[in-house]
Structure 1
Amino acid sequence: MDYLIIALQLIVGLSILNVWLVQPKKNTKWRGGNATTIFEEFEAYGLPIWSVYVVGIIKVVLAVGLIVAIWVPGLRYYAALGLAAMLAGSVLMHLKISDPLYKSFPAALFLLLCLVIAFVPGASL
């Protein structure tokens, strides 16, 4: 079970880092509304531009924390739960603007994975 949780931590952590650090300007089918960049996506949600930076910093810090938690298990619960909260917000934003359900699929999937990471037996508190 430990190896599965470590794999999930890497998958979620690296995926979040990819979205925010590698592909923020890449057009994907998962972007909210008709957005082609992360900035346009937040605009589609009706959020101010500064919120892109706040949400980005929080998600990057939590993703790094989830990866570091492989070696510092005490971080795992908090990083996973923090990311789960942020991803729940992502799902809600997609629903807010009446996106097709498939657009919220990655956020919903990673939300579920974060809950598994946080609440699997033996999670460090």
Structure 2
Amino acid sequence: MDLENIDILQSILQIIVAITILNVWLLRFNKSTPWRGGNASSMKEEFKTYGLPENMMYVVGGLKVLFALGLIIGIAYPTFISISCIGIIVLMAGAIGMHIKVKDEAKKSLPAFIMLILSLAILVLQN
């Protein structure tokens, strides 16, 4: 695969990760999904299920949105890519840990696991 195709693949992955995170935190925040921890039907209920305070939800959400925007901005300004990927990797590892903490079935961790793997791939593809 030549350098141009690698750059295109990296940009596509950045967009996929960014849109997925923005969708969860901006459009589906108060909606039920099959991926929410425990039996939660909203983000607020999910953080309560994990035993985390409400203000932590806003910190985590703010960071996820910030890092997602960093991936989009990173298409034009690559200096944003590494920190955004590392931030998403750490937060997704935390999300997986929370699912494990509340003994969720493994499939509920799948979106976080996919975002973690895609973020690792973006880091590897960086030239």
TM-score w.r.t. the length of structure 1 is: 0.95
Provide the residue aligned with 1:82 in structure 2. Answer: 87
Pick from 24, 29, 38 the counterpart of residue 34 of structure 2. 29
Unpaired segments ≥5 residues, structure 2 = 1-5
Map 1:3-22 → 2, pairs under 5 A: 3-22=8-27
- Is 1:91 the counterpart of 2:96? The answer is yes
Contact 2:18 2:68 survives alignment (8 Å): yes
Contact 1:77 1:119 survives alignment (8 Å): no
Contact 2:47 2:53 survives alignment (8 Å): yes
- Is 1:112 the counterpart of 2:111? The answer is no
Provide the residue aligned with 1:56 in structure 2. Answer: 61
Pick from 70, 73, 77 the counterpart of residue 75 of structure 2. 70
Provide the residue aligned with 2:3 in structure 1. Answer: none
Pick from 45, 48, 70 the counterpart of residue 43 of structure 1. 48
One-letter amino acid of the structure 1 residue matched with residue 59 of structure 2:
V
* Distance in 1 of aligned mates of 2:119 and 2:35: 19
One-letter amino acid of the structure 1 residue matched with residue 62 of structure 2:
I
Unpaired segments ≥5 residues, structure 1 = none
Quote the offset at 1:120 in angstroms.
2.0
Contact 2:10 2:126 survives alignment (8 Å): no
Please tell me the root mean square deviation across aligned C-alpha atoms, in Å: 0.7
* Distance in 1 of aligned mates of 2:36 and 2:86: 23
TM-score w.r.t. the length of structure 2 is: 0.94
Quote the offset at 1:121 in angstroms.
4.7
Percent identity, please. Answer: 44
Instruction: Name the count of aligned residue pairs.
Output: 122
